[in-house]
Chains A and B, each alone.
Chain A
Amino acid sequence: MKFDTPATTNPIDQMQVVGHPLNRIDGPLKTTGRAPYAYERHDAVPNQAYGYVIGAAIAKGRITAMDLSAARAAPGVLAIVTAENAGPLGKGNYNVAKLLGGPEVEHYHQAIAIVVAATFEQARAAAYLVKVDYAESQGAFDLAGAKAAGLGPSQATPDARVGDFAHAFAAAPVQLDATYTTPDQSHSMMEPHASLAAWDGDRVVVWTSNQMIDWSTGDLARTLNMPKEKVRLISPFIGGGFGGKLWLRTDAVLAALGARAARRPVKVALTRPLIPNNTTRRAATIQRIRIGATQDGKISAIGHESWSGNLLGGHPENAVEQTRLLYAGANRLTGTRLAQLDLTEGNSMRAPGEAPGLMALEIAMDEMAEKLGMDPVEFRAINDTQVDPSNPDRPFSRRQLVECLRLGAERFGWVGRSARPGTRREGQWLVGMGMASGFRNNVVMRSGARVRLDGQGVVTVETDMTDIGTGSYTIIAQTAAEMMGVAMDKVVVRLGDSAFPASAGSGGQWGGNSSTAGVYAACVKLRETVAQKIGLNSADAVFEDGQVRTGNRQVSLAEAAGESGLVAEDTIEFGDLAKRFQESTFAGHFVEVGVDAATGEVRVRRMLAVCAAGRILNPKTARSQVIGAMTMGVGGALVEELALDKRRGFFVNHDLAGYEVPVHADIPHQEVIFLDEVDEMSSPMKAKGVGELGLCGVAAAVANAIYNATGVRVRDYPITLDKYLDRLPEVA
């Protein structure tokens, strides 16, 4: 199905099932411990052996020698695979560094070997007997140093300019020129990257934990130099991803290589301390923001430059993305500068670009509002734009940013915020409120599905779409139930298998809208097939209560399907609507903090997000996406930072004790409001992404609340005590 004209009325608009806050259909499995994750597939194949991955102990250089003799002789060891004995390996389209390093080492903890043994304990013990000699060479690890050396835009990613930024900024009566930093972050999903691989002749099946089945099936085939048709990935349950499992990673490659070498199935989980330096990270940024405005608060010039670092061949963290679109202003400059750094690959983590970009931009907007003597909500509202600022002929498909901000201000009690920082005191607490705009682009991706109808009237959906906690199982079931006119308990959803039609996958908050649109397309085809089978005109047929009818004729779906059943498959493909219209999602984030007047400890007291993100397919799971993102935003504001050792080139705090993420005690009750919205430009579902929107702007709202509480402005994340304790007001 081609989606190239705005959606009109369709069966989804009935909203009999879609749009209801239903419990997750996978909930009973997950809450009782019966949902099987990749490392737990005792049911899949017998005789599984255990792999243990060894990471490089240097950041850059060469392996000069590996002594495997002691490890090979250790009890239970079945095989050891290194780059030397693995045979020729290719590299995936989506990988920057090799997933099995050696003799060249490209980054710290790059995998250099897998030890396979009969038990986990034996594999682990033997891995520590592998002796590796390195010739270390000097790597580059210092982003600030690269910036100071004059790093500018690259030819691949030139600056985007509208009007004459330099002139307009210089002429602006009110100016802000400030620099902000965001640190390297780690996805830290709860389930480590894990895979079980089993060979059958020249075919391999990998039970894995991966957000993008089709991409990663292709990349595993490329890496192993084999046809894609001979690789099967199965990933029905995924213990979190946040972008860290968008790609083929070393667990899948080394499980496959280990299984081939050991001649039996092998399973591998990356140990937690390996993950931050071995897998991808959200790259640190240095961001310079310049805003010029008239005395009455109209932005006349806005400039945003962002520096980040990556391995050769990697991309910049596009932290200026939102600045191209979020606020009006005739003169604009945005651009990224990319340093080559020998750290593990920088790549997508939840809301790449916008998440770190808004961490900076939305503090800058707060600072600018203060300079102008304006309320921060009002300053944003008067700089709203309903068109792409760099191309006024291109409207937003639907943009309710101002509505989000105004409703949020009303519901949060923003009127009670003191405009003068550091003036509200409750006992030991300095209390402040902060807000920020939330913005994240809506991306659409082609997505396929197969839908079966059987003789019992059961509808089974098969697609390689994944559920990483987002609620895909449930919203796909709701879509199929709505389209086929059956109850939820008559729908079975099977996900995450490369044997199923290729879907959009889970990433970039495109999964919910795109994958359900793919299921919609397949269901339209199945409706036609059903109607044809029983000789009805599908255009007039009503699918309701497990029946299909036109006029006074009525047939049950079970009867229509018959013994042999019916099946239909289709793929939603998107035309140029997303080019003609700017599709984005919007939010207003509001936060209240208390800062201990004596110790400086920050406690988040209240949080509210108001979101405008198209049709909300399931308010319960969508709300969970948003509160989870708000939680991650608190982490980004207050605690999350991969601490870099610039001498040796590695992240020191590489586990869940050192890399701090929010815990229960850090998070208050959270409120979420979804504006009533449908977006006919996005898909037949009229939905948009929401899973990343919830993160975008949150950290800045926290930062602004801390400023409002204390009068101390911190421009470097995370906002830890060392950055402001000495600047707190005198304790009265």
Chain B
Amino acid sequence: MTKVSFTVNGQAVALSLDTRTTLLDALREHLQLTGSKKGCDHGQCGACTVMVNGRRINSCLSLAVMHEGNEVTTIEGLGSPESMHPMQDAFVRHDGYQCGYCTPGQICSSVAILEEIKAGIPSHVSADLNAQPRVTPEEIRERMSGNICRCGAYSNIVDAITEVAGRQA
């Protein structure tokens, strides 16, 4: 067992964990924050996406003890049913989900990719690596492709993200 401390959604937590515990299982099993999902446990599906220090990661591919002092944001930290984040609200209105299992990961990625674009980070489909990338459907689809939605809500998700990006700009 190893002690580790970090913040989750702004709250400090201190855990004593089996070193084999992933960040995802620390959140789901130890902190009972089950919004982050385990779809594959192998970094293949993106359902476990959370933000660590402002960057999205697959929390299943990361051991909890590697996150000493980090700031973790999960879907629960973005908003609540009573007070949804604009992206959560847009997903509801555009029906950007069906079964809901990939949805927290999709929403965390959605929020994160808009920050990535704003920060000028290029993607595989950015024509000019030195130019400021723009929020286009092509950029959104490329950047979101690590988040699988087997229900196939992609077309609606892109609409939701596009709307939020437009409002932000």
Q: Which of A24, A240, A621 contacts B101 (CB 8 A)?
A: A240
- CB distance B84 to A667 under 8 Å? no
- CB distance A40 to B101 under 8 Å? no
Q: Min CB distance, B37 to chain A, in Å?
A: 7
Q: How far is the CA of A311 from the CA of B32 in the complex (A)?
A: 41
Residue of A nearest to B138 (CB): A665
Q: Which of B42, B74, B88, B137 contacts A669 (CB 8 A)?
A: B137
Q: Min CB distance, B35 to chain A, in Å?
A: 2
By a CB distance below 8 angstroms, the chain B residues around A632 are 150, 152
Q: Which of B25, B41, B145, B146 contacts A272 (CB 8 A)?
A: B41
- CB distance A620 to B91 under 8 Å? no
- CB distance B141 to A664 under 8 Å? yes
By a CB distance below 8 angstroms, the chain A residues around B141 are 664-665, 667
By a CB distance below 8 angstroms, the chain A residues around B152 are 627-632, 662, 667
Contacts A33-B74, A238-B99, A664-B142 given; does A624 touch B153 at CB 8 Å = yes
Does A729 sit within 8 A of B, measured CB to CB?
A: no
Q: Min CB distance, A488 to chain B, in Å?
A: 14
Q: How far is the CA of A136 from the CA of B91 in the complex (A)?
A: 51
| Count of interface residues, chain A, beta-carbon cutoff 8 Å | 65
Q: Which of A146-154, A157-165, A186-194, A395-403 contacts B (4 or more CB under 8 A)?
A: A186-194
Does B75 sit within 8 A of A, measured CB to CB?
A: yes
Q: How far is the CA of A190 from the CA of B154 in the complex (A)?
A: 14
Q: Which of A83-91, A354-362, A653-661 contacts B (4 or more CB under 8 A)?
A: A653-661
Q: Min CB distance, B149 to chain A, in Å?
A: 7
- CB distance A31 to B84 under 8 Å? yes
Does B155 sit within 8 A of A, measured CB to CB?
A: yes
- CB distance A627 to B156 under 8 Å? yes
Q: Mark A237-253, 1 if CB is under 8 A from B, else 0.
A: 11111100000000000
Residue of A nearest to B79 (CB): A32
Q: Which of B51-59, B102-110, B114-122, B128-136 contacts A (4 or more CB under 8 A)?
A: B102-110
By a CB distance below 8 angstroms, the chain A residues around B95 are 23-24, 27, 620-621, 623-624
Residue of B nearest to A26 (CB): B100
- CB distance A664 to B140 under 8 Å? yes
Does A539 sit within 8 A of B, measured CB to CB?
A: no
Of residues 605 through 624 on chain A, the ones whose CB sits less than 8 Å from some CB of chain B are 620-621, 623-624
Contacts A40-B28, A630-B152, A663-B148 given; does A31 touch B18 at CB 8 Å = no
Of residues 50 through 98 on chain A, the ones whose CB sits less than 8 Å from some CB of chain B are none
Does B98 sit within 8 A of A, measured CB to CB?
A: yes
- CB distance B35 to A34 under 8 Å? yes
Q: Min CB distance, A87 to chain B, in Å?
A: 30
Contacts A28-B81, A31-B107, A32-B76 given; does A120 touch B100 at CB 8 Å = no
Q: Mark B67-92, 1 if CB is under 8 A from A, else 0.
A: 00000001110111110100011011
- CB distance B100 to A469 under 8 Å? yes
- CB distance A31 to B91 under 8 Å? yes
Q: Which of A33, A121, A667, A668 contacts B104 (CB 8 A)?
A: A33
Q: Min CB distance, B13 to chain A, in Å?
A: 16
By a CB distance below 8 angstroms, the chain A residues around B21 are 121
By a CB distance below 8 angstroms, the chain B residues around A120 are 25, 29
Does B126 sit within 8 A of A, measured CB to CB?
A: no
Q: How far is the CA of A662 from the CA of B34 in the complex (A)?
A: 26
Q: Min CB distance, A727 to chain B, in Å?
A: 29
Residue of A nearest to B101 (CB): A239
Q: Which of B35, B42, B98, B157 contacts A655 (CB 8 A)?
A: B42
Q: How far is the CA of A240 from the CA of B44 in the complex (A)?
A: 17
A34, A272, A273, A624: most-surrounded residue (chain B CB, <10 A) = A624
Of residues 216 through 250 on chain A, the ones whose CB sits less than 8 Å from some CB of chain B are 237-242
By a CB distance below 8 angstroms, the chain A residues around B97 are 27, 30-31, 469
Does A39 sit within 8 A of B, measured CB to CB?
A: yes
- CB distance B151 to A272 under 8 Å? no
Q: How far is the CA of A32 from the CA of B152 in the complex (A)?
A: 19
By a CB distance below 8 angstroms, the chain A residues around B75 are 31-33
- CB distance B78 to A664 under 8 Å? no
Chain B interface helix/strand/loop/mixed: loop
- CB distance B44 to A657 under 8 Å? yes
A-B contacts at CB below 8 angstroms, number: 195
Q: Min CB distance, A102 to chain B, in Å?
A: 25
Q: Mark A451-493, 1 if CB is under 8 A from B, else 0.
A: 0000000000000000011110000000000000000000000
- CB distance B157 to A656 under 8 Å? no
Q: How far is the CA of A34 from the CA of B35 in the complex (A)?
A: 6
- CB distance A30 to B103 under 8 Å? yes
By a CB distance below 8 angstroms, the chain A residues around B37 are 37, 190-191, 239
Does B112 sit within 8 A of A, measured CB to CB?
A: no
Does A407 sit within 8 A of B, measured CB to CB?
A: no
Q: Which of B20, B74, B91, B157 contacts A27 (CB 8 A)?
A: B91
Does A35 sit within 8 A of B, measured CB to CB?
A: yes
Q: How far is the CA of A664 from the CA of B84 in the complex (A)?
A: 24
Q: How far is the CA of A241 from the CA of B40 in the complex (A)?
A: 15
Q: Min CB distance, A125 to chain B, in Å?
A: 8
By a CB distance below 8 angstroms, the chain B residues around A656 are 39-40, 42, 44-45, 148
Contacts A188-B150, A656-B44, A661-B148 given; does A469 touch B98 at CB 8 Å = yes
By a CB distance below 8 angstroms, the chain A residues around B29 are 119-120
B35, B38, B102: most-surrounded residue (chain A CB, <10 A) = B38
Residue of B nearest to A471 (CB): B98
Q: How far is the CA of A121 from the CA of B79 in the complex (A)?
A: 31
Does A271 sit within 8 A of B, measured CB to CB?
A: yes
Contacts A631-B152, A661-B148, A661-B150 given; does A31 touch B103 at CB 8 Å = yes
Of residues 15 through 29 on chain B, the ones whose CB sits less than 8 Å from some CB of chain A are 18, 20-21, 25, 28-29
Q: How far is the CA of A42 from the CA of B104 in the complex (A)?
A: 19
By a CB distance below 8 angstroms, the chain B residues around A121 are 18, 20-21, 25
Contacts A33-B34, A238-B99, A625-B98 given; does A190 touch B47 at CB 8 Å = yes
Does B158 sit within 8 A of A, measured CB to CB?
A: yes
By a CB distance below 8 angstroms, the chain A residues around B145 are 663-665
Q: Min CB distance, A722 to chain B, in Å?
A: 23
Q: Mark A645-684, 1 if CB is under 8 A from B, else 0.
A: 0000000000111000111110111100000000000000
Q: Min CB distance, A10 to chain B, in Å?
A: 28
By a CB distance below 8 angstroms, the chain B residues around A664 are 140-142, 144-145, 147, 154, 157-158
- CB distance B100 to A32 under 8 Å? no
- CB distance B98 to A470 under 8 Å? yes
9 contacts between A and B (CB under 8 A): A24-B92, A29-B100, A33-B75, A119-B18, A122-B18, A189-B99, A238-B99, A664-B157, A664-B158
A residues near B (Cβ < 8 Å) are 23-24, 26-37, 39-40, 42, 119-122, 125, 187-192, 237-242, 269, 271-273, 468-471, 620-621, 623-625, 627-632, 655-657, 661-665, 667-670
Q: Known pairs A631-B152, A665-B145; list 5 more (Cβ under 8 Å).
A: A23-B93, A26-B100, A33-B35, A119-B29, A624-B151
| Closest CB pairs A-B (n = 6) | A33-B35, A631-B152, A239-B101, A469-B98, A469-B99, A30-B100
